Amino acid sequence: MKVLVCVKRVLDPQVKARVKADGSGVDLANAKMTMNPFCENALEEALRMREAGTVSEIVVVSVGGGKTEETLRHGLAMGADRAIHVVTEDSLEPLAIAKVLKQVTEQEDAGLVICGKQAIDGDSNQTTQMLSALLGWSQATFASEVKIEGGEATVTREVDAGLETIQVKMPAVMSADLRLNEPRYVKLPDVMKAKRKPMDKIELDSMGLDTANRLTTLKVDEPEGRAAGIIVNSVSELVEKLRNEAKVI
């Protein structure tokens, strides 16, 4: 079985996003970028499936501008077999991304797609569910455990109340939650090896899809900051403040 792992290049999660002064968006010029952490979980799961013999080939795919290649090379260094870069300088919404991924999934004849549950920039948490809908496949989001046996997968999902277990028919689209696994570190020889792995480029315009944005961002603001607090010197002072000043206990 071939698995497609969808990955996204995002602002490094340790870096605080800065809103541009003109309110047009978040300033990403010269910012440190990485693979979205949940996408690493998704890829790691695919790698473990290949090691277990469930999966024969892993293709990483991403949609974006020229530098998206760096993120795909990271995926190849982690162990993916090859990469597909859908090239566009436009910033696509999840619905458009899902349409692109649907076409790639069908062209590749993949039997499983794994994505991260959420990209930490847009925080939309949509692409997996939308891709699953467009393909008409089963959907298993927020996965913390996946077992594929025969034509079915048993998936444990992280839900608000605890853990839910569902069974889905293959082919399926899944999204990785943080406890699914711990992504491996990339070693230098892997980085070298990744440079020689194949990376196909597909121009978005050549796909013949309607990827127009449905939402217009009117402005991006910085949230109001919190007023500065104080440092208390003891537990007794803290309790006194909470009782008499903040009046919350």
Footprint (CB under 8 A) of other proteins, residues 177-196: 177-179
Give the SS3 label for residue 172.
strand
Q: Are 42 and 114 in contact (CB under 8 A)?
A: yes
Of 21, 29, 188, 231, the one binding other proteins by CB under 8 A: 231
**Region binding other proteins by CB under 8 A among candidate stretches 49-57, 84-92, 128-136, 190-198:** 128-136
* Contact flag: residue 103 with other proteins (CB under 8 A): no
* Contact flag: residue 214 with other proteins (CB under 8 A): yes
* Contact flag: residue 145 with other proteins (CB under 8 A): no
Of 1, 120, 199, 207, the one binding other proteins by CB under 8 A: 120
* Contact flag: residue 11 with other proteins (CB under 8 A): yes
Of 138, 181, 183, 194, the one binding other proteins by CB under 8 A: 138
HSE-CB of 189 using CA atoms within 13 angstroms: 0
Of 32, 51, 151, 159, the one binding other proteins by CB under 8 A: 159
Of 87, 166, 199, 207, the one binding other proteins by CB under 8 A: 166
**Region binding other proteins by CB under 8 A among candidate stretches 57-65, 77-85, 195-203, 238-246:** 238-246
Residue showing tokens 């952490």: 37
* Residue 98: count of CB within 10 angstroms of its CB: 25
| Complex with other proteins: residue 78 or 96, whichever CB lies closer | 96
Q: Are 134 and 140 in contact (CB under 8 A)?
A: no
> DSSP class of residue 56?
S
Q: Are 157 and 143 in contact (CB under 8 A)?
A: yes
> DSSP class of residue 91?
-
Residue showing tokens 């949940």: 38
| Complex with other proteins: residue 29 or 246, whichever CB lies closer | 246
> DSSP class of residue 79?
T
Q: Give alpha helix (H) positions in 22-125.
A: 37-51, 68-78, 94-108
* Contact flag: residue 222 with other proteins (CB under 8 A): yes
